[in-house]
Amino acid sequence: MRAIAYAALPAELVLAVCLIGGVRIPGPVLLGGELLMLVLVGAEAFVWLRLRRRGLSRGEALGELVPEPVLRLVGHELRLMTSLVRWVARRPHGVEGAGAVFPHARDQAPMMYGFAFVCLVETVGMSFLLAHWPVVHAVVLVLDVYTVLFVLGLHAASVTRPHVLADGVLRVRQAAHVDVRVPLDRIVWIRRETRFTHEKADGELNLDVGSQTSVTLELTGPVDAPRLLGAPRPVRLIRLHADDPKALHDAVTRARTAPSPVYEASGAGWSASSK
């Protein structure tokens, strides 16, 4: 089924491009292409039901039907679009019960707004240039509008997904594609360190914002920071940025050195005190 899908989807794209370009496609070819897609969708639905009857959850069944890279790409796009809604509603993601929250999108805002403005100007210009080709104009307009939403979604994801410190874990995030949980007991040291150049190296993760990082973490052992398509990426050094790097540094330092509770006997039972 996947082999058929890999052949059918590009064929559908070629047919769409030909139709937009005014190429006359024989009726039997169009009919065959549509029938192939209907058969493919019907087969996918049939296999979905069989997998569900075997006891697989919805996520597991979907993982069997759709390759992981495709799921990750679709999930990334959905997170960007939902981030726009969260941004407008002022509802950050994953901050419930957090001990501390550290925004990190401020320094990239002018650049992202600039990109969005350029894309908007390009959209208006292409609308005038393609006014006499309505089909091409409609396709390009959809692509241009989505590009504007994509750029704004990247910034919205950074705004609504700050770094979070909670329950002995520092959750490090960037836009909608990086979400790494770093246990505090794995942090060897943390220091404030402003860097504007970042060379790629094995075992290092650079989460620069506005081309800069301001906090560096070194870990006792690697944590997994999966790539966009799911490939594993063990890292032992993480450089990240925060709008207030001092607050992040001090909060993590305090959490790592917090006194552990010592239980003492009292007349009414046991009471906890910190030493």
- 253: number of CA atoms within 13 Å, CB side? 12
What's residue 166's pLDDT? 92
In the chain, count H helices and then E strands.
Answer: 7, 10
CA dihedral 38, 42, 44, 47 (to 10 degrees): -160
What is the three-class DSSP state of 57? coil
- Residue pair 163/173 in contact by the 8 Å Cβ criterion: yes
Query: What's the whole-model pTM score?
Result: 0.80
The residue written with tokens 């969708």 in the block is 41
pLDDT above 80 for 262 = no
Using CA atoms, how far apart are residues 217 and 183, in angstroms rounded to an integer?
11
Task: Say which DSSP state 212 is in.
Answer: B
Confidence of residue 271 (pLDDT cuts 50, 70, 90): very low
Confidence of residue 258 (pLDDT cuts 50, 70, 90): low
Q: Dihedrals φ, ψ of 94, to 5°?
A: 75, 25
Look at 9-23, 54-68, 135-149, 191-205 and tell me which has the smallest mean pLDDT: 9-23
CA dihedral 124, 126, 131, 132 (to 10 degrees): 170
pLDDT in tens, 93-122: 999 988 899 999 999 999 999 999 999 999
What's residue 21's pLDDT? 66
pLDDT above 80 for 30 = no
pLDDT in tens, 150-208: 999 999 999 999 999 999 999 999 999 999 999 999 999 999 999 998 888 899 999 99
Mean pLDDT of the chain: 86
Confidence of residue 249 (pLDDT cuts 50, 70, 90): very high
Confidence of residue 91 (pLDDT cuts 50, 70, 90): very high
What is the three-class DSSP state of 66? coil
Using CA atoms, how far apart are residues 5 and 40, in angstroms rounded to an integer?
7
Looking at per-residue pLDDT, the higher value among 144 and 13 belongs to: 144
What is the three-class DSSP state of 89? helix
